[in-house]
Amino acid sequence: MAPSRRSILLWSSLSGVLWALAWPAVGGFTALAFVAWLPLLHAERLHEERTVERKRAFVPNVLLAVFIWNAATSWWFFAVSEPLGTRLVSGFTPMIVNSLLMIIPWWLKRVVRRFVDPKAASYGFVFFWLAFEHLHHDWDLQWPWFSIGNVFGTTPSWIQWYEYTGMLGGSLWVLVVNLLLDGVAFNWTIRRPGSIAFLFGALMLVLLPWASSAWLFNSTDTHGGPSVEVVVVQPCIDPYTEKFGGMDPLRQLDEMLALAEPLMTDSTALVVLPETALQEGATLDMYGVEPVYHGLWENDLANARSTRRLEEFQDRFPTAALLTGMSADKLFSREENVPVSARPLFPPGHVPPSGQRWYEAYNAALFLPSEGPLEHYNKSKLVAGVELMPFERILGPLGDLALDLGGTSGSLGQQEEREVLRDSRSGLRIAPAICYESVFGEHVAAHIRNGANVIAIITNDGWWAKTPGYKQHLTFASIRAIETRREVVRSANTGISCFVDRKGVIRDATDWWVPTAERGTVQLYDELTFYVLHGDQIGRVAMACSTLLLLLTMVRMVQRRKEPRPTRAERR
């Protein structure tokens, strides 16, 4: 008797449920990742048996599984405090788009199975999935939040070898173990020899990486470098009612500095304030030959009121450098070629005879070293749909379609170079990571290659209230610490602020939505890991293997089309 459609749907759904239960801050049963694909692989075999006489697509079953995974682990998108229509769009769009992208490796697996053979399809699935995750880090719809290797963010003792492989090593680990266990189940059900060999292989593949990680975890020194004292501030300013216009920006800054001041000592080398901490409105006087800047214009940051307030604080604590998030703008000269993300300075109907001027908005960081001129860094990895309109370079300006989340919405400008912020007095060389940037391993690694000896994450996770979102975001700090063997300081507006050692262990974590500051000692390191030097080699190899396998599949497709079709009599 052929399997029922209902049973296939139930097995497919079970894969989505297992991924949700494995995911950090949702279920948290990390080990379930090693079996999460098994029900869907079983459903695929049942589908083959059911449709042997009449071929039907299996991809809808995959879509069901991955949508359950996405919906169960990212429902916090709906917590954004926006009108219902906007909330539905902002919630469903990333779930649906990411689910559709996740079915591509499965669809390619089915194509290879049809035109090459099932064994090649199994290998191909590993290549296709890893290539998909690699590519999903670097395009306009980038959303690597649910890359499989991120599932280990709460278990750093399992993944110390990420310093060699990066996060994709975890994805490869999970994929291969799932396929080996599927081989155990398949051979067992048809009583074919080989189940014991597959089971032994799966157990060894689980235990050996785990054991090597345990050895690295116990042998890695966390007190070997020079140390500096750092204060991180968590002000808990409501992003909806206070931060962007509800509270005077200088009052916000004063409250943050007041939290830091009791913890300051003569040894404090760095104070870190969260993303968009500075919200001084930027205006211009355009009546003279040269514009007069008021507010946070990158053309003249030194004269902003916020900068002067920070310098007053620094005068009292001259050994401390200051790093803070800000919403800033830059005015382009009439001679410059403006990027597609530039915005008109003058509204329609108010353009002066001298012509329109253009500016660009940034989600940025301001750095005041203890000695020397101030610096700024503009966020490079932007959130699609909020800070970046996808494919705007092709389609033209689409800023009106952006989801408005306070002062950082619309298409923002980006910085191409991976800057390091340096303080000569303390020896600090900071890799700044603004919010979403902490999700990207190769991005952070590029800062480390440029000389950074510590990572500073500044973020504002209050948009989605007390949901799994801010807890999931925290786990990326541990992964980045292991990949780069750099300690992390994390300042989050509403939490969680903390310190992370080079083994990925979180310490001195604050509570959610509690105004506070924490003082900690951070070790500085200079050695470069294999991952920092060479990047996502697993992703690049997967892309090459995927390309070769797809070329072979295309050749087989052409060969099959050239084969003579059987006559009606032969088919009978």
- pLDDT digits 0-9 by tens, 29-83: 999 999 999 999 999 999 999 988 778 899 999 999 999 999 999 999 888 877 7
Q: What is the pLDDT of residue 389?
A: 83
> How many separate domains does the chain show?
2
Position 53 scores a pLDDT of 73
Extract the tokens encoding 356: 């329109």
pLDDT of residue 406: 45
Tell me: the pLDDT tens digits for 462-484?
988 899 999 999 999 999 999 99
pLDDT band at 164, cuts 50/70/90?
very high
213 in a domain, yes or no?
yes
Query: Is there a domain that residue 250 lies in?
Result: yes
Residues 209 and 120 occupy one common structural domain: yes
Q: Is 379 helix (H, G, I), strand (E, B) or coil?
A: coil
Q: Any residues with CB less than 8 A from the CB of 216 and at least 6 apart, and which?
A: 160, 161, 163
Paired residues of 519 in beta bridges: 231
Q: Does residue 137 register a pLDDT over 80?
A: yes
pLDDT value at position 312?
Answer: 98
pLDDT at 398: 53
pLDDT for 399 equals: 47
Q: What percent of the chain has pLDDT over 70?
A: 95
Residue 345: inside a domain, yes or no?
no
pLDDT at 215: 98
| Residues 521, 459 share a domain | yes
Mean pLDDT over residues 192-199, rounded? Answer: 80
291 or 378: whose pLDDT is higher? 378
- Strand 321-331 relative to strand 268-272: parallel, antiparallel, unpaired? parallel
Region 393-404: what's the mean pLDDT? 56
Mean pLDDT score across all residues of the chain: 92
pLDDT at 189: 75
**Residue 38: inside a domain, yes or no?**
yes
pLDDT at 561: 87
Are 459 and 376 in the same domain?
yes
Locus of tokens 């997967």 = 542
Which pLDDT score, from 0 to 100, does residue 54 have?
77
CA 7 to chain centre: 35
Residue 338 in domain:
no
Residues 210 and 244 in one domain: no
The residue segments making up the domain with residue 92 are 5-219+537-562
Digit-coded pLDDT (tens) for 63-74: 999 999 999 999
Average pLDDT over residues 539-568: 90
Q: Which residues pair with 103 in a beta bridge?
A: none
Region 197-203: mean pLDDT is 90
Tell me, yes or no, whether 12 lies in a domain. yes
The band of 571, judged by pLDDT with boundaries at 50, 70 and 90, is low
Residues 241 and 210 in one domain: no
pLDDT value at residue 572? 53
Q: Which amino acid is at 444?
A: V
pLDDT surpassing 60 at residue 195: yes
For the segment 494-514, the average pLDDT, to the nearest whole number, is 97
β-strand partners of 459: 492
Q: What is the mean pLDDT of residues 485-494?
A: 98
CB of 236 closer than 8 Å to CB of 514 = yes
Q: In this structure, is residue 503 part of a structural domain?
A: yes
Percent of the chain with pLDDT over 90: 80
pLDDT band at 296 (very low <50, low <70, confident <90, very high): very high
* Length of the chain in terms of residues written: 572
Identify whether 344 is part of a domain: no
420 and 547 part of one domain: no
Are residue 171 and residue 41 in the same domain, yes or no? yes
Same domain, 296 and 364: yes
Domain CATH code at residue 451: 3.60.110.10
The partner residues of 458 in beta bridges, in order of sequence, read 434, 491
Q: Are both 213 and 311 inside the same structural domain? A: no
Residues 328 and 200 in one domain: no
267 & 328 share domain: yes
Lowest model confidence (mean pLDDT) among 391-395, 425-429, 487-491: 391-395
Lowest mean pLDDT among 31-40, 282-291, 413-422: 282-291
Q: Does 407 or 312 have the greater pLDDT score?
A: 312
CA–CA gap between residue 406 and residue 428 (Å, rounded): 32
- pLDDT for 100 equals 97
Res 568: pLDDT: 58
CA distances from 214 to 207, 210, 253, 378 (A): 10, 6, 43, 38
Where does the pLDDT of residue 6 fall: very low under 50, low under 70, confident under 90, or very high at 90 and above? very high
Spatial separation of the C-alpha atoms in residues 435 and 93, rounded to whole Å: 20
Per-residue confidence at 567, pLDDT binned at 50, 70, 90?
Answer: low
Whether residues 42 and 85 fall in one domain? yes
Instruction: Calculate the alpha carbon distances from 73 to 6, 9, 28, 127, 477 in Å.
Output: 24, 20, 11, 25, 19
- In this prediction the pTM is 0.94
